[in-house]
């Protein structure tokens, strides 16, 4: 009999590793390129071949699931802000179902600004809570509980569509803002948790999550336009609109439950668990101390690596939310005829649909082009240049105008162009820092870094929403 040879695991096996070294954290090399020092385990020549093996993402299922999770993360916000005709109808003083004669008030005229405040303030608080819960509560609990809360609120919103609230306009307004606040807090907890677990995956998965967010806005805009075209009654249109959201959120819950069953996702998600096992082994061998997983992760080393990227994300979304949708949705066609284009479809098409399509294109571009890099000074410079979008949109045909009476851009093509530029730059310049952030820190801080980057994003939305109220009243 010959010498016994060590058994080598088959590359076609379904082996799932329980520990990772630098070589196998990603099936592409972008993590190493961005942070060569971010090691979880030291390199050993005795690491078995199976540990170096990464399962394939069969049929791109994991990519698709994260894309759907991205859609659902901003779907509630987009469905609320896109249904402008429905909110104007509900918040007007009209008592005739389907009547076009509505008496506008401050509540209806500035509803988008109130909506932004109700959305972003609880989001900031939930971002802080999410960071504190990173090591205390599993991502599954945070994500699934958030999705169920969102689904519950949307079911209630759907039911209220057919309820006559004409005599309770203020009560309906307050209830809507409370619903938005609850949904926003849950959505941000969900988004931050998804960004956290995506940090353990290659960049393509993080990019899928962010691109899905833009697709959520595109789908909501398309659904709104289709419902407006298919139904003449405002409430029938809104009922179909919100039912679409209910079904999609339920689909996302099912798809997330499928995620841990896929070998590709288990391969990367186990890195969080394996980190705890490694610390325990190091303690037993006297090589180190065991990390207390119930304490929040250290913030200072994360901010030291990501503060420029975080401020870039903050300013990108601050500028965007200051004019979208509070200002951009108030821009009307310069044509004075009462055609369906000017009365019904101008705002849904030129504001919501074009912006979200351009935003999606900008985010999707980062899958092939990632310039400038994470340490380039050009990135924050480009981010600052977006400030010009604020006066450009303010001097389009926004109505009503109480202070700035001059309209410089007196053609319908101007808001079309400006909204496309706003969305394209938001998608591209907002995505790059988000996918860079978790990759420039040590790997054991990647999940926390994803949550921190999400916090900068939400903080930018909060500050921008407050600024949007000033802009609307200034016009």
130 within domain boundaries: yes
Residue 67, class by beta-carbon neighbours within 10 Å (0-12 exposed, 13-18 middle, 19+ buried)? Answer: buried
Structural domain for 339, as ranges: 56-474
Determine the Cα–Cα distance for residues 319 and 237; give it in Å rounded to an integer: 31
Residue 460: pLDDT over 70: yes
CATH number for 193: 1.20.1250.20
Interacting residues of 440 by C-beta distance below 8 A, sequence separation 6+: 34, 35, 305, 306, 309, 374, 449
157 within domain boundaries: yes
More confident residue, 408 or 88: 408
| CB 232, CB 98: distance < 8 Å | yes
Nearest partner of 426 among 377, 355, 348, judged by Cα = 355
Predicted local distance difference test score (pLDDT) of residue 182: 92
Residue 49: pLDDT over 70: no
How many helices (H) and strands (E) are present in the chain, helices listed first?
Answer: 18, 0
| CB 373, CB 435: distance < 8 Å | no
| CB 297, CB 139: distance < 8 Å | no
Looking up tokens 């609850």 gives: 182
Residue 253: pLDDT over 70: yes
For residue 127 the two structure tokens come to 């971002």
38 within domain boundaries: no
41 within domain boundaries: no
More confident residue, 18 or 137: 137
398 three-state secondary structure: strand
187 within domain boundaries: yes
Residue 97: pLDDT over 80: no
43 within domain boundaries: no
Count of C-beta atoms within a 10 Å radius of residue 21: 16
Predicted local distance difference test score (pLDDT) of residue 206: 85
Nearest partner of 201 among 15, 348, 69, judged by Cα = 69
170 three-state secondary structure: helix
39 within domain boundaries: no
Predicted local distance difference test score (pLDDT) of residue 10: 35
Listing DSSP states for 287-331 in one string gives: SS----TTSPPPSHHHHHHHHHHHHHHHHHHHHHHHHTTTTGGGB
365 within domain boundaries: yes
Mean pLDDT (the chain) is: 79
pLDDT, average across residues 41-63: 63
Q: In the chain, how many domains are there?
A: 1
Determine the Cα–Cα distance for residues 252 and 138; give it in Å rounded to an integer: 18
Query: Tens digit of pLDDT for each residue in 344-401?
Result: 889 889 898 999 999 999 998 988 899 999 999 999 999 999 999 999 999 999 988 8
11 three-state secondary structure: coil
| CB 123, CB 457: distance < 8 Å | no
């Amino acid at each position: 009999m010959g010498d016994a040879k060590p058994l080598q695991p088959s590359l076609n096996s379904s082996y799932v590793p329980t520990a990772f070294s630098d070589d196998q954290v990603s099936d592409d090399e972008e993590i190493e390129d961005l942070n060569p020092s971010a090691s979880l385990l030291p390199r050993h020549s005795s690491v078995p071949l199976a540990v170096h093996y990464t399962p394939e993402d069969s049929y791109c299922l994991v990519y698709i699931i994260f894309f759907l999770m991205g859609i659902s993360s901003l779907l509630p916000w987009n469905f609320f802000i896109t249904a402008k005709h429905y909110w104007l109808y509900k918040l007007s003083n009209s008592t005739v179902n389907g009547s076009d004669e509505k008496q506008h008030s401050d509540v209806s005229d500035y509803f988008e600004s109130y909506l932004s405040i109700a959305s972003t303030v609880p989001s900031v608080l939930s971002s802080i809570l999410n960071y504190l819960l990173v090591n205390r509560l599993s991502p599954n609990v945070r994500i699934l509980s958030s999705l169920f809360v969102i689904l519950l609120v949307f079911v209630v919103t759907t039911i209220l569509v057919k309820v006559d609230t004409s005599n309770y306009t203020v009560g309906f307004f307050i209830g809507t803002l409370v619903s938005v606040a609850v949904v926003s807090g849950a959505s941000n907890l969900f988004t931050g948790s998804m960004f956290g677990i995506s940090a353990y995956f290659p960049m393509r998965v993080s990019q899928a999550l962010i691109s899905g967010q833009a697709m959520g806005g595109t789908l909501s805009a398309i659904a709104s336009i289709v419902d407006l075209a298919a139904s003449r009654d405002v409430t029938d249109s809104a009922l179909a609109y919100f039912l679409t959201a209910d079904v999609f959120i339920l689909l996302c819950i099912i798809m997330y439950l499928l995620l841990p069953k896929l070998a590709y996702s288990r391969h990367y998600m186990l890195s969080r668990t394996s980190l705890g096992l490694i610390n325990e082994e190091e303690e037993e061998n006297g090589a180190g101390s065991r990390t207390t997983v119930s304490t929040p992760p250290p913030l200072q080393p994360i901010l030291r690596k990501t503060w420029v990227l975080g401020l870039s994300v903050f300013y990108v979304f601050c500028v965007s939310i200051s004019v979208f949708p509070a200002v951009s949705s108030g821009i009307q066609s310069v044509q004075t005829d009462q055609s369906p284009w000017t009365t019904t479809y101008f705002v849904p098409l030129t504001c919501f649909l074009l912006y979200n399509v351009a935003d999606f294109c900008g985010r999707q571009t980062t899958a092939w082009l990632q310039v400038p890099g994470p340490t380039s000074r050009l990135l924050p410079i480009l981010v600052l240049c977006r400030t010009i979008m604020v006066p450009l949109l303010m001097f389009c045909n926004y109505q009503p105008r109480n202070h700035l009476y001059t309209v410089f851009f007196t053609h319908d093509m101007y808001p079309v162009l400006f909204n496309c530029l706003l969305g394209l730059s938001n998608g591209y310049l907002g995505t790059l820092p988000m996918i860079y952030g978790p990759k420039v820190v040590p790997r054991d801080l990647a999940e926390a870094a994803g949550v921190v980057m999400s916090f900068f994003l939400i903080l930018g939305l909060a500050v921008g929403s407050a600024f949007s109220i000033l802009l609307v009243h200034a016009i």
